[in-house]
Amino acid sequence: MRLSNFYLPTLKETPGEAQIASHRFMLRSGMIRQQAAGIYAWLPLGMRVLTKIENIVREEQNRAGAVELLMPTIQPGSLWEESGRFDAYGPEMLRIKDRHGRDMLYGPTNEEMITEIVRASTKSYKQLPKMLYHIQWKFRDELRPRFGVMRGREFLMKDTYSFDASPEDARKSYLKMFAAYLRTFKRMGLETVPVKADPGPIGGDLTHEFVVLAENGESDVFLDKDLLGRTVPDASTDFSGDLEPVFKEWTSLYAGTDEVHDEAAWAEVPEDRKLSLRGIEVGHIFYFGTKYSEPMRARVQTADGKEVDMEMGSYGIGVSRLLGALIEAHHDDDGPKWPVSVAPFHVGLINLKPGDEAADQLCEKLEAAFEKAGVEVLYDDTSDRAGEKFARMDLCGLPHVVTVGPRGIKAGEVEWKNRGSGEKSGLPIEGAAEKIIAEVQNKLATLSA
Amino acid sequence: MRLSNFYLPTLKETPGEAQIASHRFMLRSGMIRQQAAGIYAWLPLGMRVLTKIENIVREEQNRAGAVELLMPTIQPGSLWEESGRFDAYGPEMLRIKDRHGRDMLYGPTNEEMITEIVRASTKSYKQLPKMLYHIQWKFRDELRPRFGVMRGREFLMKDTYSFDASPEDARKSYLKMFAAYLRTFKRMGLETVPVKADPGPIGGDLTHEFVVLAENGESDVFLDKDLLGRTVPDASTDFSGDLEPVFKEWTSLYAGTDEVHDEAAWAEVPEDRKLSLRGIEVGHIFYFGTKYSEPMRARVQTADGKEVDMEMGSYGIGVSRLLGALIEAHHDDDGPKWPVSVAPFHVGLINLKPGDEAADQLCEKLEAAFEKAGVEVLYDDTSDRAGEKFARMDLCGLPHVVTVGPRGIKAGEVEWKNRGSGEKSGLPIEGAAEKIIAEVQNKLATLSA
């Protein structure tokens, strides 16, 4: 992609409302533009990252055996009357009257709708288990939207719903999502820890939040340090097999949000392993049994002819929020440092002297080599000042930056900067593209392993 | 994909409200499920087709040089006051008050928002031309939603917006979209004709509808038969080059909607070339000059230092509506006949006797061969009756159906049915997968050429 054809409206000044790094950098690098409080347009640079995150989430859901559908954003109020939530939900639900005066709403979540869909077609335990998911925009009319995409009103969420004929089977579905979530975040280059969450009146121990540890997190978490860096299931994991060992590996040590903090258990964690910090919630999984299937009469016949309410769970990932969490986890003073799997482009290519024949030719050759290898390149072919170009690339946070100029060409070199480590080095022109392509491909392979 | 893992709630009976074939088949084959009048959930089979159509649209937009972003569904009313449309739009606009009582709306289209975005960053003619597009859900509160996804309330649309510094440049942008639309529909296996549309008070001749000729179309079109089957620009077309010849090829003969029907010009079309029929509008392109940029003060400085309003056009494709149009154009009494580029799966594989070791093994071998080649296969591994399996595959409309049974295996054959032509033949087991893979790949290559 040539920068001259792209649309990248970076900002020199930081808008006053941006209090945290991710919000600041997303506005400044032209990833998003606010349209109303908590409502953003995703400009091309932001859209590219959003799409990559969405695709990783999708691939790992498919791997775990979930099937994709897409529910609409607007829902009839009558559906929520079946579960009792139409009145109970509160002012965060965006309520709408259509032209006929019917009660509608912009879905903040989809338990009712998916239950209605599955109920209509599922009569026998033989049709179960089923795991269905969609990736769709949601709306929660937050009183005080803030922190950019971290707490917006219109946001993109992946929500999966599992349907089983027994609590034992429901646990298996839960473990699939538990393992899938570990893989999903790891593929994005994000270290997360599953921590026990509050099951509320439903009780039980099958609810976890996946949190990114970060200074600007909104929730307090307590955890045993030995949980950090544990093994994430690899790509060869059999999701139809026994996932109890994965669950055990990640839940046998103390980890909980402040809502469920257990002082007695916490006291048993050795002092030097106690970590009490802030976390950003990026995923939440919850087995809630028959909470919706019972009032909505979503039932199946079991092998012995009984009718039972389906056992359900729901599993959410904040897709748009993840951009904020990723930047909070990976940035310096100059901008984000995108992990290669979610970077808007893998490589930035700076031409220091557009119009110089040798520089133009070399840039075009490098660009073609990257594109041929499937390595995405943003080629700054503008006539802006060099300083402006370097600062803009840093602000965009592309993992690799290659700079081409007449002086380097004379010396037979291009400059290569690793945005993550900050290291710069001269690379011989011969083989430069191949070297960077290999770096990108190796890193991508490691992340998705 | 194994059918036992998929979610395919087909219906035996046709719901009473479905008047046309596409609506009927989409409900019956479990592609969609109605959630409210004109609001549908896209079940997995429908979602797969929707995604393929979306991706073809995206690829052709990118090829033409348009850049993708994503604007939110909810917009502030204040933005529409700038253009005067907040009051003018009428009851099809879904108006919403948020919890603070602010006027919001669910976007039926995005001219105002994209103008606001581009206005904020674009000050000089040097930053133009720009073509930006998004693929996003829209809402129009139709008085009488009908014909399934053909006239729904919540629908998926691709809308592109062009910004230029002069009418001459705006014409170039228009021609890019004109050519891109011809390619887009052709890739889906859909024959469309661009017909002159009504420019309203704006005037000019740069507005066209792309229509699919079909009995159940909603609009009347008049055209010279010699327009059918004209050449569609191929994949090597240079979109930054001169596209006037493409435009001329497709617009030099008579073609218009009834709103702009010109009896005098029509009288000059030879009688045996006069076609007056019904069409389904699947795309609409429109150069409207400064209609929004003027009231919204979206201006750039020209080379000679003047300030001018940007010249704009908008270009829409009804992505979700295309599923309906495709089925209207391609079906028989048993179901849709999906062109291979948009089929939910390329191949259906029927195991007539699951549990029979030879049948199971052959099916798994074929499934693996298809998947390895990137050919998508829906494998019916259920224990349903053979008749039910055949009818279901016909209803799904997959281009190729391969049937495996113990009797065929003894004869060294599988049965191969071409859903499009209805032809059936015995295929030697040895080489069967390769033959069908080649058919799929050749057809895909032809469509995308």
From first to last of its 449 residues, what are the pLDDT tens digits of chain B? 999 999 999 998 888 889 999 999 999 999 999 999 999 999 999 999 999 999 999 999 999 999 999 999 999 999 999 999 999 999 999 999 999 999 999 999 999 999 999 999 999 999 999 999 999 999 999 999 999 999 999 999 999 999 999 999 999 999 999 999 999 999 999 999 999 999 888 888 899 999 999 887 888 999 999 999 899 999 999 999 999 999 999 999 999 999 999 999 999 999 999 999 999 999 999 999 999 999 999 999 999 999 999 999 999 999 999 999 999 999 999 999 999 999 999 999 999 999 999 999 999 999 999 999 999 999 999 999 999 999 999 999 999 999 999 999 999 999 999 999 999 999 999 999 999 999 999 999 999 99
Greatest distance between any 2 Cα atoms in chain A: 83
Q: Which residues of B touch A44 (CB under 8 A)?
A: 67-69, 132
Residue A361 gets which letter from DSSP? Answer: H
User: Which residue in B5, B67, B99 is closest to A65 by CB distance?
Assistant: B5
CA A47/CA A28 separation, integer angstroms: 15
Chain A contact for B123 (CB, 8 A cutoff):
no
CA–CA separation, A63 and A73 (whole Å): 26
> For A63, which residue in chain B has the nearest alpha carbon?
B1
B94 CB within 8 Å of a chain A CB: yes
- Shared domain for B52 and B153, answered yes or no, is yes
Residues near A334 by Cβ (< 8 Å), separated by ≥ 6? Answer: A391, A394, A395
* A262 assigned to some structural domain: yes
E strands along B102-149, which residues? 103-106, 130-139
B277 plus B355 within the same structural domain: no
* B209 lies in the same domain as B63: yes
The reply to whether residue A69 touches residue B47, judged by beta carbons under 8 angstroms, is yes
Q: In whole angstroms, what is the distance from residue B307 CA to residue B125 CA?
A: 10
CA distances to A229, A332, A377, A419 from A423, rounded to whole Å, are 25, 14, 19, 7
Q: Under a CB-based contact definition with an 8 Å cutoff, are residues A42 and B70 in contact? A: yes
- What is the per-residue DSSP string for A277-313? EEEEEEEEEEEEETTTTTTTT-EEE-TTS-EEEPEEE
Report the gap between the CA of B362 and the closest CA in chain A (Å).
22
Question: Chain A 26-45, CB below 8 Å of chain B: which residues?
Answer: 30, 33, 35-36, 39-44
Chain A interface mutation, best of B28, B43, B119, highest count of A Cβ atoms under 10 Å = B43
Same structural domain, B266 and B413: no
Count of A–B CB contacts within 8 Å? 138
Q: Both B153 and B258 in a single domain?
A: yes
Whether B82 is in a domain gets the answer no
Residues A330 and A349 in one domain: no
Of B30, B35, B43, the CB nearest to A75: B35
Cβ-defined contact of A121 to B73 (cutoff 8 Å): no
| Cβ of residue B139 closer than 8 Å to a chain A Cβ | yes
Stretch A432-440: mean pLDDT:
98
Q: Where are the beta strands (DSSP E) in A82-129?
A: 94-97, 103-106
Inter-chain residue contact A117 with B71, CB threshold 8 Å = no
How does pLDDT run across A209-239, given as a tens digit for each residue? 999 998 878 889 999 999 998 999 999 999 9
**B313 and B403 housed in the same domain:** no
Residue B85 lies in a domain: no
**Domain boundary, last residue among A302, A335, A368:** A335
CA distances from A198 to A207, A248, B293, B313 (A): 7, 19, 51, 52
**Torsion angle in degrees (nearest 10) through CA of A50, A52, A57, A59:** 150
Indicate the pairing of strand B311-318 with strand B274-289.
antiparallel
Residue A238 within any structural domain of the chain? yes
Which of B7, B99, B141 minimises the CB distance to A98?
Answer: B141
Closest CA to B337 of B205, B206, B217, B443: B443
Q: What is the pLDDT, as a whole number, of residue A312?
A: 98
B236 touches chain A (CB under 8 A): no
Q: A316 and A423: one domain?
A: no
Range of the domain at B413: 345-448
Q: Which of B51, B52, B99 to mutate to test the interface with A (most CBs of A within 10 A)?
A: B99
Candidates B35, B163, B384: best to mutate against A (most CBs of A within 10 A) is B35
A85 found inside a domain = no
Contact in structure between B210 and B281 (CB atoms under 8 Å): yes
Q: Which of A3, A4, A7 to mutate to test the interface with B (most CBs of B within 10 A)?
A: A7
Q: Which two tokens stand for residue B148?
A: 């399934």
Residues A403 and A320 in one domain: no
Distance of CA A107 to the CA centre of its chain: 20
ipTM attached to this prediction: 0.97
Query: Has residue A272 been placed in a domain?
Result: yes
Strand, coil or helix: B271: helix
Closest residue to B39, CB basis, from A33, A74, A139? A74
If you ran DSSP here, which 8-state letter would residue A314 be given?
A: E
B358-404 per-position pLDDT tens digit: 999 999 999 999 999 999 999 999 999 999 999 999 999 999 999 99
What integer pLDDT is reported at residue A208 of this predicted model? 97
Is the model's pLDDT at A34 over the cut of 90? Answer: yes
Last residue of one domain, picked from the residues B312, B335, B358: B335
We report the CATH number of the domain holding residue A252 as 3.30.930.10
Report pLDDT digits (tens) over B201-221: 888 889 999 999 988 788 899
Q: Is B303 on the interface with A (CB under 8 A)?
A: no
Chain A interface includes B15 (CB < 8 A) = no
Q: How far is CA A441 from the centre of its chain?
A: 21
What does the pLDDT read at residue A201?
Answer: 81
Residues B52 and B140 in one domain: yes
B9 inside 8 A of chain A by CB? yes
Taking Cα atoms as reference points, which of B328, B285, B272, B76 lies closest to residue B161? B285
pLDDT at B189: 97
The answer as to whether A95 is a domain residue is no
CB contact under 8 A, B41 and A113: yes
A130 touches B at CB < 8 Å = yes
- Residue A383: its pLDDT value, please? 95
Q: Do A243 and A369 lie in a common domain?
A: no
DSSP states along B333-399? TTEE---TTT-S-SEEEEESSTT-HHHHHHHHHHHHHHHHTT--EEEE-S---HHHHHHHHHHHT-S
Q: Which of A194, A144, A175 is nearest to A64 (CA)?
A: A175
Domain endpoint, select from B273, B302, B335:
B335
User: Looking at the 3D structure of chain B, how many domains does it have?
Assistant: 2
Start-to-end CA distance of chain A, whole Å, equals: 28
Beta carbons of B120 and A9 less than 8 Å apart = yes
CA-CA distance, B369 to B346, in Å (whole number)? 13
Q: In sequence order, what are the beta bridge partners of B404?
A: B351
CATH code for the domain of B427: 3.40.50.800
Contact A36 B99 (CB under 8 A): no
Residue A335, phi-psi category: left (phi > 0), alpha (psi -120 to 50), beta (remainder): left
Q: Is residue B40 part of a domain?
A: yes
Same domain, B181 and B220: yes
Question: Which residues, in sequence order, are CB contacts of A9 under 8 Å at separation 6+?
Answer: A30, A33, A43, B120, B121
